[in-house]
Amino acid sequence: MPHPVQLGLQDATSPIMEELIAFHDHAFMIVSLISFLVLYVLSSVLTTKLTNTNITDAQEMETIWTILPAVILILIALPSLRILYLTDEINNPSFTIKSIGHQWYWTYEYTDYGGLIFNSYMLPPLFLNPGDLRLLEVDNRVVLPIEAPVRMMITSQDVLHSWTIPSLGLKTDAIPGRLNQTTFTAMRPGVYYGQCSEICGANHSFMPIVAELIPLKIFEMGPVFTL
């Protein structure tokens, strides 16, 4: 979960999110260096009165400031493309769970457990227990195993939604008439929160996602749903 005045991203729970955080730091460092360089040049031009006629025609300098931005773009694009292909890679998932977006709740179907289906609604404030998070807690959490590849099949029954859990590095659109899929492998147990990330109507802010990650041995005994 994020905390107040947090500057960085949420802690990673999957290898994909670890890659995304590393790429964020990589790109942020490049942008910071460019920004400081531009600010230094601007401040130097504005504060100095020295002039030099030699800089009015400098072929070497023009060559450098033409090639250097291309090199920087390549340094950003290559790791970005690598992560893009990693997020689309499907590696023999051990479990498949279907998520269906509605206005304004989620339906989950465990296709590997005889078509077990349940709905997940946001808990109203009157039903919250001490320590529960307002606008983020649900009546039925989706229970997922750790250390096993899980495939999420995501669709919608009415309008556009988006199934998103930042800690897992997941954000997949739920589109009516289309079945999107994504895979992930969680690395540690816990309760992780997300929300619909696509404006889907008046109650868009009231359809949270709560994933409870448990050890694989416990999950294999049968899905456990917490109320």
pLDDT per position as a tens digit, 122-131: 999 888 888 8
Mean per-residue pLDDT, 116-136:
90
Task: Tell the CATH topology of 15-88.
Answer: Helix Hairpins (1.10.287)
Least confident interval from 96-100, 168-172, 198-202, 219-223: 219-223
pLDDT confidence band for 52 (50 / 70 / 90): low
Mean per-residue pLDDT, 200-221:
88
- Homologous superfamily of 95-221 in CATH? Cupredoxins -  blue copper proteins (2.60.40.420)
Contact 153, 96 (CB under 8 A): yes
Contact 197, 187 (CB under 8 A): no
pLDDT at 189 over 70: yes
pLDDT per position as a tens digit, 147-156: 889 999 999 9
pLDDT confidence band for 57 (50 / 70 / 90): low
Note if the pTM is more than 0.85.
no
pLDDT at 223 over 90: no
For the chain, which residues make up each domain, given as ranges? 15-88, 95-221
